[in-house]
Amino acid sequence: MSTLDASWLPLSPGERAVAIEVLVHGPLSRAELARRLNLSAGSLTRLTKPLIESGLLVEKGTEGAASAEVRQGRPSQPLDMVAESRLFIGFKITEDMVYGVVTTLRSDIMARDERPLTTHEPAAVIDLLREMTQEFTRAHPRAAGIGIGVGAGVRDRSVVIRSPFLDWDEVPLAELVEEWTGLPTVVENDVAALVEAECWFGAGRGLDRFAVLTIGAGLGYGLVSGGRRVVSSEDGLSLGRGRHWMVDPHGPLTPYGERGSAVSLLTIPSIRYQLHAATGREMTYEEILGLAADGEPMAARVVDEAARALGTIVSQIANFAMPQKILLAGEGVGLVDVAGAAVEEAILANRHPQADKVNLETKVSDFHDWARGAAVLAIQVLVLGSA
Amino acid sequence: MSTLDASWLPLSPGERAVAIEVLVHGPLSRAELARRLNLSAGSLTRLTKPLIESGLLVEKGTEGAASAEVRQGRPSQPLDMVAESRLFIGFKITEDMVYGVVTTLRSDIMARDERPLTTHEPAAVIDLLREMTQEFTRAHPRAAGIGIGVGAGVRDRSVVIRSPFLDWDEVPLAELVEEWTGLPTVVENDVAALVEAECWFGAGRGLDRFAVLTIGAGLGYGLVSGGRRVVSSEDGLSLGRGRHWMVDPHGPLTPYGERGSAVSLLTIPSIRYQLHAATGREMTYEEILGLAADGEPMAARVVDEAARALGTIVSQIANFAMPQKILLAGEGVGLVDVAGAAVEEAILANRHPQADKVNLETKVSDFHDWARGAAVLAIQVLVLGSA
DNA sequence: AGAATTACTTCTGAAGCGAAAGAAAAACAT
DNA sequence: ATGTTTTTCTTTCGCTTCAGAAGTAATTCT
């Protein structure tokens, strides 16, 4: 096994296409791969041979119950990725915590950890990352790379341009972490990483056009088109995104966004702020959702207004970005469980009746999911070299 | 010249890339092409040779004043497309007229014509197209193909699925026109054709992400991503697009769209309807714009409201589709000349201050421009085979 | 006039592909 | 049981296309 250590890094374009297809779309026979990639059967034998020899792929015996369909002819020999042949570490840095996960090549989480962040000094943060990495590698020595997600603008998947909440400015994070851990490191905006992860292994798997809207302390938005994430100059503005998505000029004003903006209507702090202003009580987001579900008028009004705002934004995404699917993620999507009908209603009001129904998926995600997204980015860049 | 008649149709992928690059980005030397297409100089000699021999490209002597920059070394030999080596006919079919143009390979218009459409019977329409084509080919015998734009859903660039205003249902238009004219024919939704044309030869030239919003009797919207137009199931709903883009729930209601929708606020019939309702007088769109420019309160209010609606829609496109440029086209863009400030203001209100400025371009287009778009589609499909 | 520079051409070898033919492994038919 | 059919996978061969190297061409600079 130690022979493969550096051998499968330089993949030819053909090999990379095969590897990605198998990685993303599960076990596939050579014949099936040939059809999907528009290659001849002969080419697939050629392309898969070195991948199997290097240990990245294995011939998965037909023992699986998945091959239930009994067909004539020689049975296909599904190829699968040895997901555990390389492990990846993903981190999500928030204002007061660092979340970390260890994942397989297929981004299954093998371990997780979280530590409080007491200072924002780059040196201290890096030291914490080093410490967590050491802990991880002790249990999982096969770790091959690190991905880090930050709510900030990132250049060249390496340098944090500016982070308001960390008060960082031009911090060459990837370089520093590489130096201290010895592992190749990729840094990216947190929303961007989550979008890439969902695009490869999550809700956007195999889709050509795909949008992600995250609801949490702020709003996040990412778009995939042609199977690739659209890089936008707004990626860095994570905390500012949606402050100017005006939904209702007569809507509420909060300290977090413009009056009636998506941020003022929809984010967790804004909803808590509105209920605090109305009732004088401090309540958690979950408490508010619970009250709204029980029909408490104040909470129900705010939550309902938020749901309508969400539906409006979703329909705008559907109308103008025209994705095949929209994923709602983040800590604030519980809203949809409580007021899904209002969301649906607002979407329908803003869509042409003959247009395709909006394909909406909701995924509750915690901070470890954000860390997992960063790990996926490391997989993409370090293993498959998809720049 | 007659030797090339069918010789340059089957272009290899490499040749096609060269041809498109020269066609879209003007005269280019082999060395420059090599840089742009990431090919070696040797490959370019190989690829360009058959294209020159077939008459599609010519070595443009350095006589041009364009080569003003005197550099050291052997002067480059710019290659240019012989734009007149093939001519194309484009048609736009509206409810009461058929507009036609003859264009070069570079989509320069050589001739134009228009005829009233008295009946919507497919046979009659096709007969009119045949007649106009005959007239065109008499003056321009080099015509090599026909493109037709219709405000309807189109399948396989051939069959008109359903057109409300023509009352057509599953009309195999391309097939029929081919049969009657003997020229290869491509049919496409009119907005789609305009988007493709602008993407190749117009405002979207060379851009990766690009959006088009048309304002006229209705609204049209098209998106280009990764240099390719995004095909949407809503393409066919040309007359319905924007009826549910809600801008202001308290806005006006017109017979053309929902209350406060982009259609009710922004289209030419809606603006005329609003002024008719307010003043009792029938006025043309141009008259209304003139009055608004002169400060007449009624007209100014309606036009201003339309401008704000336009700005809102534009900012939503910018926020969610994230194009590098947005083109406003159609007969209704005169609005921007009169109330550009209000448009700008509405865009700014809905955009993050740190986000890139919206790159907005306005292009007044008449119906012949729509026909030209259809001709470009014929060029793309018939000559360069870009499916 | 010669050096330097840039553009283009020609040649060669390597890579990658498809087509075709063969081998293997199963179900199906007799 | 035995052959046939069907499908998958492997092997081989030839074709296309490319990059790289070396050579030629045309111009400016010194």
Q: Which of B161, B239, B319 to mutate to test the interface with A (most CBs of A within 10 A)?
A: B319
Question: Which residue of A lies nearest to B208 if distances are taken between CA atoms?
Answer: A230
Residues of chain B contacting residue A240, judged by C-beta atoms under 8 Å apart = 352, 354
Q: A8-36, pLDDT tens digit by residue?
A: 457 888 999 999 999 999 899 999 999 99
Question: Which residue of B lies nearest to A324 if distances are taken between CA atoms?
Answer: B232
**What's this model's pTM, rounded to 2 decimal places?**
0.92
Q: Quick check: A73 contacting B, CB < 8 Å? A: no
Nucleotide lying nearest to A17, CA to C1' measure = C16
**Helix, strand or coil for residue A244?**
coil
Q: A62-121, pLDDT tens digit by residue?
A: 544 444 466 788 888 889 999 898 899 999 999 999 999 999 999 999 999 999 999 999
Q: A291-336, pLDDT tens digit by residue?
A: 999 999 999 999 999 999 999 999 999 999 999 999 999 999 999 9
Q: What is the pLDDT of residue A386?
A: 66
Nearest CA-CA partner of B372 in B99, B154, B180: B99
A201: distance to nearest CA of chain B, Å? 22
Helix residue ranges per DSSP H, B236-382: 262-266, 268-279, 285-293, 297-320, 334-349, 367-378
To which H or E segment does residue A288 belong? helix A285-294
Write out residues 216-245 of A within 8 Å (CB-CB) of B. 221, 223, 225-226, 228, 230, 232-234, 237, 240-241, 243-245
Question: Which residue of A lies nearest to B349 if distances are taken between CA atoms?
Answer: A244
Determine if strand D comes within 7 Å of the CB of A92: no
Q: Which residues contact B216 (CB under 8 A, 6 or more apart)?
A: B267, B268, B330, B331, B332
Residues of chain B contacting residue A250, judged by C-beta atoms under 8 Å apart = none
- What CA–CA distance (Å, rounded) separates A123 from A142? 26
Average confidence (pLDDT) over A166-191: 95
Backbone angles phi, psi at A254, to 5 degrees: -130, 165
Nearest CA-CA partner of A190 in A170, A227, A219, A225: A219
Residue A96 to residues A99, A311, A367: CA-CA distances in angstroms?
A: 10, 31, 12
Whether the Cβ atoms of residue B148 and residue B185 lie closer than 8 Å to each other: yes
Query: Per the CB < 8 Å rule, is A244 touching B351?
Result: yes
Average confidence (pLDDT) over A221-226: 95
Q: Which residues contact A34 (CB under 8 A, 6 or more apart)?
A: A40, A41, A43, A44
What amino acid occupies position A107?
S
Question: Token match 């007359």: residue?
Answer: B239
Separation of first and last alpha carbons in chain B? 27
- Other CB atoms within 10 Å distance of the CB of residue A254: 20
Q: Quick check: A319 contacting B, CB < 8 Å? A: yes
- What CA–CA distance (Å, rounded) separates B21 from B3? 24
Beta-strand pair A143-150/A109-116: unpaired
A52: distance to nearest CA of chain B, Å? 32
Report CA(B33)–C1'(C11) in Å, whole number.
22
Whether the Cβ atoms of residue B52 and residue B108 lie closer than 8 Å to each other: no
Report CA(B37)–C1'(D30) in Å, whole number.
36
Nucleotide lying nearest to A31, CA to C1' measure = D8
Report CA(B7)–C1'(D15) in Å, whole number.
21
Residues of chain A contacting residue B321, judged by C-beta atoms under 8 Å apart = 223, 320-322
Q: What is the pLDDT of residue A5?
A: 36
Determine if strand D comes within 7 Å of the CB of A61: no
Average pLDDT, chain B: 91
What amino acid occupies position B136?
F
**What is the side-by-side strand order in the sheet with B168-171?**
B153-155, B159-163, B168-171
Whether the Cβ atoms of residue B323 and residue B285 lie closer than 8 Å to each other: no
Question: Which residue of A lies nearest to B355 if distances are taken between CA atoms?
Answer: A234
Q: Which nucleotides of C are covered by protein (CB under 7 A)?
A: 4-12, 15-21, 23-28
To which H or E segment does residue B23 belong? helix B13-24
Report CA(A39)–C1'(C19) in Å, whole number.
12
Residues of chain B contacting residue A233, judged by C-beta atoms under 8 Å apart = 355-356
Query: Per the CB < 8 Å rule, is A226 touching B221?
Result: no
A332: distance to nearest CA of chain B, Å? 20
Query: Per the CB < 8 Å rule, is A320 touching B221?
Result: yes
Determine if strand D comes within 7 Å of the CB of A227: no
A243: distance to nearest CA of chain B, Å? 7
- Alpha-carbon radius of gyration of chain B: 23
Report CA(B42)–C1'(D20) in Å, whole number.
9
Q: What is the pLDDT of residue B146?
A: 97
- What CA–CA distance (Å, rounded) separates A16 from A365? 30
Query: A323-335 burial, b if ≥16 CB within 10 A, otherwise e?
Result: bebbbbbbbbbbb
Residues of chain A contacting residue B359, judged by C-beta atoms under 8 Å apart = none
Q: What is the pLDDT of residue B55?
A: 87
Nearest CA-CA partner of A89 in A27, A138, A152, A158: A138
Q: What is the pLDDT of residue B119?
A: 94
Three-state DSSP string of A298-324: HHHHHHHHHHHHHHHHHHHHHHHCCCC
Say which residue, B53 or A133, is predicted with more confidence: A133
Determine if strand D comes within 7 Å of the CB of A69: no
Q: Is the pLDDT of residue A2 over 70?
A: no
Q: What is the pLDDT of residue B69?
A: 65
Query: Per the CB < 8 Å rule, is A321 touching B221?
Result: no
What amino acid occupies position B181?
T
Ranges of chain B with pLDDT below 50: 1-8, 63-68
Nucleotide lying nearest to B78, CA to C1' measure = C7
- What CA–CA distance (Å, rounded) separates A228 from B112? 41
Residue B72 backbone class (left: φ over 0; alpha: ψ -120 to 50; beta: rest): beta
Nucleotide C10's nearest residue (CA vs C1') is: B42
Tell me, what DSSP letter sits at residue B312?
H
Q: Which nucleotides of D are covered by protein (CB under 7 A)?
A: 5-13, 16-22, 25-29
Q: Read out DSSP for B337-350?
A: HHHHHHHHHHHHHT
Residues of chain A contacting residue B243, judged by C-beta atoms under 8 Å apart = 352
- What CA–CA distance (Å, rounded) separates A108 from A83? 9
Q: Quick check: A356 contacting B, CB < 8 Å? A: yes
Cα of B12 vs its chain's centroid, Å: 27
* Surface-to-core class of residue A104, CB atoms within 10 Å of its CB (0-12 exposed, 13-18 middle, 19+ buried): buried
Residues of chain B contacting residue A225, judged by C-beta atoms under 8 Å apart = 209, 225-226, 230
Whether the Cβ atoms of residue B371 and residue B149 lie closer than 8 Å to each other: yes
Nearest CA-CA partner of B171 in B197, B153, B183: B153
Report CA(B299)–C1'(C30) in Å, whole number.
89
| Maximum Cα–Cα distance across chain B | 73
To which H or E segment does residue A25 belong? none
Q: Which residues contact B291 (CB under 8 A, 6 or more apart)?
A: B283, B298, B299, B300
Q: What is the pLDDT of residue A165?
A: 87
